[in-house]
Amino acid sequence: MLFYIRACLLAVVTLPMWIGGALFFLFVFGPWTWKKIRWDRGAIMLQWRAWWLRRWPYATAVGYVVGHPAVYCEKLRQHERIHIRQHQDSCFSGVIAGGLASIWGGWPAFAIVWGSSILWPIFDIVSAAVLRNAHPNGYRGSERERSAYAQTWHYGKGQSWLERHRASSDGRVT
C-alpha cells in the first residue's frame, strides 16, 4: 500500500516533468526526428532517425522523456536515468519553493514556481559555461552532468570521470 501512495505522490509532484518533457520533444526536436517510441521502466524512449543522428548524436533526457541514438548501451541508460532522478529532485524542490511563494502570491505563484522547476537545470548549465568556463560547450562542466558521469562512467583502472578529473593537473573538466 505504501508503494502505491509513494508512486501517486511522485506522479503528482513530477507532473511538470511529463508536461515539460513532452512539450520539449514535441516542439524543440519535433516528431519528424523520432524513429521509434517505447516505454522503458517509467520513461518514454524516443529513438532518433538516422538523418537526425548526424546532427544530434547525443542522448537527451528532459523530464521523463529520453531521446537517444539506436545504439543505447546500459551505461548510457544509467546515465540518463540519473538525469531523470535529477529532474525529480528539481520538481520536489519546486513544490517546496512553490509552497513558500504561495504564502505571498497564492496559488498562481505556486503554479508558476512549481511548473518552472523543469527549467531550473538551465541555470546550472549557464553558470558552468559563463562563470566557471568549465568546458567549451558548457554543458559537460555543469554539476548535473558531472554528477551523472561520476556515477556511471568508469575508465581504465576503474576510475570514474570525477576521480579522473580530480587527478588531472590543470583542474579543467575534460
Looking at residue 169, its pLDDT comes to: 55
Residue 35 located in a structural domain:
yes
Does some domain include residue 136? Answer: no
Residue 109 lies in a domain: yes
Residue-number span of the structural domain to which 23 is assigned? 2-119
Query: pTM of this prediction?
Result: 0.78
- Per residue in 36-47, pLDDT (tens digit) is 898 988 889 999
- Give the residue ranges of the chain where pLDDT is below 50: 173-174
The terminus-to-terminus CA distance of the chain in angstroms comes to 46
The cell for 35 is 524513429
Q: Is 59 helix (H, G, I), strand (E, B) or coil?
A: coil
Q: Per the domain annotation, does 149 fall within a domain?
A: no
- Whether residue 115 is contained in a domain is answered as yes
Distance in angstroms (rounded) separating the CA atoms of residues 168 and 42: 37
What is the number of domains present in the chain? Answer: 1
| Position 159 in a domain | no
CA separation for the pair 148, 32 (Å, rounded): 29
74 within some domain: yes
